[in-house]
Amino acid sequence: MAIDYDRLMAWPFEDVHQRYTERDTMLYALGIGLGTDPLDETELRFVYEKNLLVLPTMAVVLGHPGMWMKDPRSGIDWVRLVHGEQGLTLHKPLPPAGEIIGRTRITGIVDKGPGKGMLVYSERTVRDAATGEPLATMTSTTFCRADGGFGGPAGPVKPVHELPTRAPDRSLDFATQPRAALIYRLSGDYNPLHAEPAIGHAAGFERPILHGLASYGIAAWAVTRALCDGDPHRLASFDVRFSSPVYPGETIRTEMWVDDKVVSFRARVLERDTVVLNNGRATLR
């Protein structure tokens, strides 16, 4: 089925009702990689039920509409799509357990032309199911590599946040575990690309790769730890572009430039000297 611009813009997402527990909250933090040092009490607060805190990026696994682009009615070649960008705005701290409602909508589509692909911009709000209060708003850019040239609009394209040209003000290294993807997937992303070696090889990788949103969570924790004394309530927003995959077991260095409440950042894998997250922008409270 060909791409139908109007159909995609009006895609009928159903609200997602989800209940999560303290166990889910701790599992998410373990999937990011916190808790590897049993003497690190800053990380313990996110993986132990006593006075439990929630990593802000846990919002990205709440109220997700699922892999809707696999629906044949979308006309999208879902096998060739990639996650291009992710944004997050926190309206209030996530509770350690609760019930939420996730609501997704398409906010824009850009036709990059024949052979150049299509960009799909979406937005998801997560609200407290009992009060209706907004907890978080997420934005996402999906690059559909095989679907350009259908006659859709050529813009507007989301602007890229440019990093400062000076040397980073701070950096923090985070060693991922070889089994990291196998733990992170238990928070809801069961794509076999992150578990089965044969599927990783078929996709052109030497082994299963880490979820992009796990790398995203690691970078957010690096900013929170380095600049907020580990206080998750101080992170107000976190936006980034995905530029390359991470293999579980590699070390991610998050480089940060601090300009008052705005933090520019990128992340690179030390073992391959490869930038994996780029053009990042976070705001602090």
Catalytic, 75? Answer no
Residues in the chain: 285
Q: Which CATH class is domain 170-284?
A: alpha beta
Domain 5-144 has CATH 3.10.150.10: no
**Residues 227/138, Cβ–Cβ less than 8 Å:** no
Q: Which of 194, 200, 211, 218 is catalytic?
A: 194
Q: Which of 3, 101, 209, 218 is catalytic?
A: 209
Catalytic, 189? Answer yes
Report the C-alpha gap between 104 and 65 in whole angstroms. 7
Pairing label, strands 235-242, 170-175: unpaired
Q: Which of 212, 218, 239, 280 is catalytic?
A: 212
DSSP 233: G
- Calculate helix-pair angle for 212-228, 22-32, nearest 10 degrees: 90
Peptide bond into 156 cis (omega under 30): yes
Q: What is the pLDDT along the chain (285 residues), one digit of tens a residue?
A: 689 999 999 999 999 999 999 999 999 999 999 999 999 999 999 999 999 999 999 999 999 999 999 999 999 998 888 899 999 999 999 999 999 999 999 999 999 999 999 999 999 999 999 999 999 999 999 999 899 999 999 999 999 999 999 999 999 999 999 999 999 999 999 988 899 999 888 888 899 999 999 999 999 999 999 999 999 999 999 999 999 999 999 999 999 999 999 999 999 999 999 999 999 999 999
At 148 the pLDDT is: 95
At 138 the pLDDT is: 98
pTM: 0.95
Domain map of the chain by residue range? Answer: 5-144, 170-284
**Residues 143/155, Cβ–Cβ less than 8 Å:** no
Angle at 237 between CA 124 and CA 59, to 5 degrees: 45
Catalytic, 149? Answer no
Tokens 């928070």, located at residue: 187
Whether 5-144 and 170-284 share one fold: the answer is: yes
Q: Which of 24, 111, 189, 239 is catalytic?
A: 189
**Which phi and psi (to 5°) does residue 255 adopt?**
-105, 135
Catalytic, 6? Answer no
